[in-house]
Amino acid sequence: MRLPWTRAPRAALASVSTVLVAALAGLVLAFVVTAAISHTVASGSAAVAYQTGRGCPMIVTPTVDGDRLRPAQVERAVRIGAGAAARNGFDGVLTGRYTAVARMDFNGKTPWLRLGHRDGAADHVKIISGGERSGVWLPRSVAEAGAVKLGDRGLGGLLPPVTTIFEDIAAPSGNWWCSEERYVVANPLAGEGTTAALGFLPDRAEFDRLMARMPVQYTLTMRFPHQLPATLSEAHELSGRSTALLNEINEAGLTKTDSLRRGIELSEQARTSVLLAVLPLTAVTVLVGMVAVGAVAVQWCQRRRAEVRLLWVRGVSPAALGGKAVLELIVPFVLGGAAGVGLGRLALPLFAPSTALEPGTLGLVIAIVAGVLGVAVLVVGATTAVHVRHTFQAKPRNRRVLRWIPWELGTSALAVWSWTRLLDGALTVQRGEVLPRIDPIALAFPLLVVLTAAGLISRVLGVSLGASHRLDAWSWPAVQLAVRRLAISRTTATGVLTVAALAVGTVAVGYGVASAQQNALNDKSGMIVGANTAVQLPLAVAEGKVRIPQELSSTTTLVGDAPGLVNGNQVRVLVVDRASFKRISSVDIGDALTKLGPRDASGTAPALRVGKTPEGQWEPVSGVKLRTVASVPQFPGFGVDKGYVIAREALPNAYDAAAWRLWSTSTDINEFTAQLTAGGVRYFNPQSRTKVIDALPFYVVSWTFSFITALGAVLAVLAACSLLLSVEVRRRQNALFSALATRMGLRRRTLVSSHLVELGVIAALATAVGTAAGVISAALSAARLDPAPRLAPLPAVPNPVPFVLLTTLAAAAVVVLAGAIAVRAARTARAGELLRG
Amino acid sequence: MDYPTPSGPVTAVDDVHLTVPRRGLTVLAGPSGSGKSTLLRMLGLVEQPTAGTVFYGGEAVTGLPHRRLRRLRRDRVVMIFQNPAENLFDYLTVGENLLAAAQLAGRSSAPPDLLARLGLPGTEDWRTSALSGGQQQRLAFACALATGAEVLLADEPTSQLDARSATLVLETLAELATWDVTVVTASHDDRLIELGEPVVRLRDGRIHR
């Protein structure tokens, strides 16, 4: 290689700004690619984590259950299961053996009881008295019902002595018991003799001896505990071993279940949905990045014009000059790319739904980033060659026409097309699928709006600056100077404004839609549960025979629920305590309850009409007459149902409501139920808004827009860097002008103001236009990106004021920093030296 | 030679018939805007005339494909710009600049005594920024000679130099006029015009006789 080319990397340092811009371009390209791949992979991992973490971890791995088995069958099945578990890499088999529910005589009393044995059960109950690891362990409810004391023996001495009394296992029973709830938790709503609390024998041998003396068949459960998979590949691997394990267990009478497979299917669907949504956005961003890379090459040609001309007149071809540009810029590209990959990995927790990535993801990222940077390098070479050819070889021609082509018309037409797709439904659920399919074209609507708005405002600024020589504002010298400086660097100003407005708008869209999904998920689940958590209570609580613990009075409200009929249509009548309800409700209900009250003289209760139920006077439940006094479209606790709400004091009798539920503000269902248990209140059917509806469809949309937020953040950083760089590039020019102007009497305050106005105009326009376009388009899109449209409310973007304030503050900080750089250069400049050049 | 401008085409050089002698120093003289730099760029094959033909050693070169023109610029003709720094690679030493010029023309090295002959002995390892303007312009001529070119075209070689540096360049040009190369310069420096033989005076794009 000839000499100027061999020294190209060192020669690059002659133009530090170009090197910085090239490194920045490499960084952004690599970051976008890294983020897109990592985000997609992380979406799969997050979906796996959600699928496996949402339910009982004991049934993520295979389960084997058998009813009415004889002891010999059970032992054989357990032996086979243990062998299969060992061969397929599971930690072992956790077995549970349960008898049928039966009345068991203790001291003449015959409480319902189920006996059983589960490996390690003694370590997973709360002991009230005793604790010896032999004999019979009884739950408190059975001990109280049978007046059983330690040492008593049931069934006329057939049972071993009671050695321990423990707290009843209640739902939610925790990760260890959750797969056994139907055998160990008594359901008060179930019929007599169909359910009972579990008493167990902690010693397996003792249990076996007892079973040998009792001619009963019993239920076997086999669980295969295993660490939960963190990624899709781990899930696939575990699923493969689960299948192999289940294939080895072929005993008759056993039911085998592998729920992980369905979880994997859904997780893969989620990942595919995110990928399909992210891919076009990434492709467009990379294409825009390539345009920026082309601009870097043009900047290189301009900054190195003297050398390019020298080489060209000495017979160097445009292609060889392209090669020189590549050699000069490849190092900053690669370093920037490496930084982009590193940044993408480091920032993963900030934008991705999970930090668990598949093995090999980094390799894939590096390979694709290398490919993209390779293309970028080719773009640099080709652009340089073409630019050199245009500059030195082509005949001079007027290329101004390109400036007047309205590119925004193209993006606005695409936005209209995207809007029609959005109206047709951006999310469609296919038959047999849980997750919605996302239309990536419809999804692009808010971004296309932002792009159009950014293009339009830049064009308006460019045209205005083009005509700004007519402006005569010397009475405001700061404004006049700012406008002149902007006009001189019109291309840079419009470029920075485009990127900045795009950045602000993109962040607004991403943040708005992602937050709308999260809020909609919360609100919709709140509409089902009513509050953060809820449990069903016995009638005795509503009748006042059992008191709710005092410490729960400020965080709970009792709600009655009565199903009824109006005009032959099913409705629900919700009975609320007005005083506590508003405090507890998960959704803001305004003053809707103020019109409710006690029954009037005719025995009719004022009622709130919820949804499209008939207005007027009705008696949907026998003995409950009501008259509608106000209407609301939805109400907490109704979910997709419709009906009426009446005040607690309007209900004639507590038993007129079919069910009573206690709603709580507590977000921790375990803590809430523990408080009830401690207060001696029996409950059942616990619900938590975090688990009441399948959140994965919401997450898929939310994850997609989180990625858009990350893209916007990158663009924002790029815009800020571009602004600072543009100031730095013009430092000498500004310094010369400012130094001379201040010596000729320009006040320092005016100088500072002029720089702040100059930079502030760009920042203010970008913030205003970006925020307006982003928030409005996000609001239009969010309502149409509803994975559960039948359930109110529709997703809505959050209050934009905090976002606007934060963006304004960030923009102001960048303006002040850039202004400080410009003013400092002017203040430290020595006019004599500047003039001498 | 016409240039497009927003107010219509402007003719920079018109109706010029000129024969440059094979050896010696030809000076294109005239005030600013007279067309001497444009004429020099056409001779240097940097610009193509709108009408007319440039001949090199009897061969018409106007209208040749870019590849042929590039080869001519590489092998036979070298342009030297008025700003000394723009004729050099500032990230290379003096010796490396000479070597780079030679390598660009397909030569493995520059003549060993070139620097000494042009008054820059012992400066091989110097950074170009350590040279004065006049020395930089001398180095530019050295680089031009290192390519083995037959024709040296210098555009206002003394215009950006102080008097002392300009003198160094004038001495160089006087020396080169005795060598076996064709030297053409555009200038309105009277001292340089005095050295020229012939001197072609231009005014408003035409030769003024």
Nearest Cα neighbor of A703 from A281, A376, A335 is A281
* Chain A residues touching residue B73 (CB < 8 angstroms): 313-315
Q: Is the dihedral of CA A824, A828, A834, A837 positive or negative?
A: negative
| Per-window interface: B 160-199 vs A, CB < 8 A | none
Q: Are A388 and A322 in contact (CB under 8 A)?
A: yes
pLDDT (0 to 100) of residue A238: 95
Unique residue bearing structure tokens 């003198």: B167
pLDDT in tens, A679-709: 888 888 899 988 888 889 899 999 999 999 9
d(CA A722, CA A329): 18
Flag whether pLDDT at A203 surpasses 50: yes
d(CA A464, CA A454): 15
Q: Which of A7, A313, A391, A398 to mutate to test the interface with B (most CBs of B within 10 A)?
A: A313
pLDDT (0 to 100) of residue A837: 45
Q: Are A494 and A461 in contact (CB under 8 A)?
A: yes
- B174 Cβ contact list (under 8 Å, min separation 6): B25, B195
Q: Are A89 and A227 in contact (CB under 8 A)?
A: no
For residue B185, report the phi and psi dihedrals to the nearest 5 degrees: -130, 150
A387 pLDDT band (50/70/90 cuts)? very high
Unique residue bearing structure tokens 């010298």: A477
* Interchain pair B46, A315: CB under 8 A: no
d(CA A86, CA A78): 12
Q: Is A399 exposed, middle or buried (0-12, 13-18, 19+ CB in 10 A)?
A: exposed
* Mean of pLDDT values over A154-182: 91
The overall longest dimension of chain A from CA atoms, in Å, is: 115
Between A50 and A469, the higher pLDDT residue:
A50
Q: H or E element: which one contains A487?
A: helix A477-488
- Is some CB atom of chain B closer than 8 A to the CB atom of A396? yes
Nearest Cα neighbor of A96 from A208, A253, A220 is A220
- Is some CB atom of chain A closer than 8 A to the CB atom of B64? no
* Chain B residues touching residue A3 (CB < 8 angstroms): 92, 96, 99-100, 103
3-state secondary structure of A465: helix
Q: Are A127 and A166 in contact (CB under 8 A)?
A: yes
A458 pLDDT band (50/70/90 cuts)? very high
d(CA A542, CA A667): 23
Q: What share of chain A is helix, strand, coil (3-state, %, to 5)?
A: 60, 15, 30
CA-CA-CA-CA torsion for B188, B189, B191, B194, nearest 10 degrees? -10
* Interchain pair B91, A13: CB under 8 A: yes
> What type of residue sits at position B69?
L
For residue A160, report the phi and psi dihedrals to the nearest 5 degrees: -65, 165
- Is some CB atom of chain A closer than 8 A to the CB atom of B70? yes
- ipTM of the complex model: 0.92
Q: Are B30 and B204 in contact (CB under 8 A)?
A: no
* Interchain pair B103, A317: CB under 8 A: no
- Average pLDDT along chain A: 89
Share of chain A above pLDDT 70, in %: 97
Assessment of whether the complete model's pTM goes beyond 0.90: no
Q: Which residues of chain B have pLDDT under 50?
A: none
Flag whether pLDDT at A586 surpasses 70: no
A583 pLDDT band (50/70/90 cuts)? confident
* Chain A residues touching residue B67 (CB < 8 angstroms): 317
For B101, nearest residue in chain A (alpha carbons): A314
Q: H or E element: which one contains A720?
A: helix A696-729
The end-to-end CA distance of chain B, in Å, is 20
pLDDT in tens, A399-446: 566 667 788 899 999 999 999 999 988 887 777 677 777 888 898 899
pLDDT in tens, A42-101: 999 999 999 998 889 999 999 999 999 888 899 999 999 999 999 999 989 999 999 999
A559 pLDDT band (50/70/90 cuts)? very high
d(CA A740, CA A735): 8
pLDDT (0 to 100) of residue A781: 93
pLDDT (0 to 100) of residue B203: 87
DSSP state of A563: E
Nearest Cα neighbor of A25 from A312, A324, A383, A354 is A383
Q: Is A400 exposed, middle or buried (0-12, 13-18, 19+ CB in 10 A)?
A: exposed
The end-to-end CA distance of chain A, in Å, is 35
d(CA B160, CA B140): 14
pLDDT in tens, A115-137: 999 999 999 999 999 999 999 99
Q: Are A172 and A670 in contact (CB under 8 A)?
A: yes
Looking at the partner chain, which of B3, B44, B66 has a beta carbon nearest the beta carbon of A393?
Answer: B66
Total Cβ atoms within 10 A of residue B127: 13
Q: Is the dihedral of CA A462, A465, A470, A472 positive or negative?
A: positive
- Is some CB atom of chain B closer than 8 A to the CB atom of A565? no
